[in-house]
């Protein structure tokens, strides 16, 4: 009896270990069902290496950012082609069309310049830890920026954050930027400065996905149909 009981107990322990391993695998699998149910949305695996950058990319307490602005997969209606970026300034969303069925939605913050232009453009330049040059009008309002008239080097204090994508139309720079931010809790809000800001980790992710020549549609009317 004792041998039989010992055997059965080992079976149970082994079974429990297997089940636990399986459950943990389900929890950590990118986009896995358990993780999806727990979060309330389908998360998107991080591209790029935010933990191995030229400058630190601090972790963000995502509990302080509304769930709808977390990076996540959504369905789309096939209105836009693969690799298109759609910016919905009214609702503070950016979409990247990944394939025929699925898009990645990012939460964004929209600065004053972000509301100044709409339409279709093309990504002609991408930069890591980009240099930022404040416009003359901003320097007049904020004289302390005079020292950066010729540009602020990339880094943790730079308002363009870890990455920037530059929009061109007809071969000319629109001065419209999709960029990271060192103010993560501005996501989902309208701000007094900047263009379209993203969490640095999201900006790194999008940088890895988007190709030079990709189309960008900026919708200022609200309710962009994606």
Catalytic positions, please?
A: 179, 195
How many CA within 13 A on the CB side of residue 223?
0
Residues 6+ apart with CB under 8 A from 71: 43, 44, 104, 105, 106, 107, 199, 201, 202, 205
Q: Residue 25 contacts by C-beta under 8 Å, 6 or more apart in sequence?
A: none
Distance CA 212, CA 195 (A): 19
Q: Are residues 140 and 130 in contact, defined by beta-carbon separation less than 8 angstroms?
A: no
Q: Report how far apart the first and last C-alpha atoms of the chain are (Å, whole number).
A: 66
How do beta strands 85-88 and 215-219 pair?
parallel
> Contact 155/130 with Cβ under 8 angstroms?
no
Q: How far apart are CA 210 and CA 125, in angstroms?
A: 11
**Pairing verdict, β 42-43 and 85-88:** unpaired
**Pairwise CA distance, residues 163 & 154, whole Å:** 9
φ, ψ for residue 122 (rounded to 5)? Answer: -135, 140
């Amino acid at each position: 009896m004792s041998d039989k009981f010992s055997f059965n107990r080992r079976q149970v322990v082994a079974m429990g270990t297997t089940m636990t391993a399986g459950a943990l695998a389900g929890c950590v699998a990118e986009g896995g069902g358990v993780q999806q149910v727990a979060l309330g949305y389908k998360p998107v695996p991080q591209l790029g290496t935010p933990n191995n950058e030229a400058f630190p990319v601090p972790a963000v307490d995502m509990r302080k950012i509304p769930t709808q602005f977390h990076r996540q997969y959504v369905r789309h209606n096939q209105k836009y082609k693969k690799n298109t970026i759609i910016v919905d300034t009214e609702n503070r969303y950016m979409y990247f069309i990944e394939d025929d069925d699925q898009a990645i939605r990012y939460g964004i913050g929209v600065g004053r310049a972000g509301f100044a232009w709409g339409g279709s453009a093309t990504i002609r330049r991408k930069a890591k830890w980009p240099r930022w040059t404040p416009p003359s009008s901003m320097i007049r309002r904020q004289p302390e920026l005079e020292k950066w008239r010729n540009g602020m080097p990339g880094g943790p204090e730079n308002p363009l954050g870890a990455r920037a994508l530059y929009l061109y139309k007809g071969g000319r720079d629109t001065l419209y930027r999709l960029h990271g931010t060192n103010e993560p809790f501005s996501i989902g809000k309208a701000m007094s400065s900047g263009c379209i800001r993203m969490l640095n980790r999201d900006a790194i992710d999008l940088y890895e996905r988007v190709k030079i020549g990709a189309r960008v549609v900026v919708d200022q009317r609200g309710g962009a149909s994606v």
